Structure formats: structure tokens, C-alpha cells
Amino acid sequence: ELDVSKLYNRVYERNSTACGVGPIAAMMQAAKKLGAHEGKLVKYATSGDVIGDTSSVVGYGGIIIF
């Protein structure tokens, strides 16, 4: 689902950050206007996967919107 309100609520409720949450929301809105209706996570990894230190990580997700 491409729910911008849900995106903002999750970031707020989990007290987390998302670099570019505004542009992500804009992309979701634009995709919806172009006919997209869902997204699929194709890959997720963190910096801890690479360096081995998981005490503080940055997450990266690859998502296909269609």
C-alpha cells in the first residue's frame, strides 16, 4: 500500500529517522497519481551487515513501486 500517513506515523511512533522521508512521501504520492497501488521490498540490509558492528546502524531498502 502507498499510504503516506502510515509512513509518517511509523517514523514518529518508532522514534526513528528516515533520510529523505519527505521525498519518499512525494514519490509515493506521484506514483499513486500515475496508477501505482503497491510496493514490494526486494532487498533490505544495514551497515552492520557490512562492518559487523550492529550497535548503531543505517538501514537500506530497495523497493519496487507498481
Q: How far is CA 19 from the centre of its chain?
A: 9
pLDDT number for residue 19: 86
Residues 6+ apart with CB under 8 A from 32: 2
Q: How many angstroms separate the CA atoms of 48 and 54, rounded?
A: 5
Taking 70 as the pLDDT cut, the residues of the chain under it are none
Contact criterion met (CB below 8 Å) for 54 and 32:
no
Determine the Cα–Cα distance for residues 28 and 3; give it in Å rounded to an integer. 8
Predicted TM-score (pTM) of the model is 0.79
The confidence score (pLDDT) of residue 16 equals: 85
Q: Give 1's Cβ-side CA count (13 Å radius).
A: 5
pLDDT at site 39: 95
Determine the pLDDT at residue 1.
85
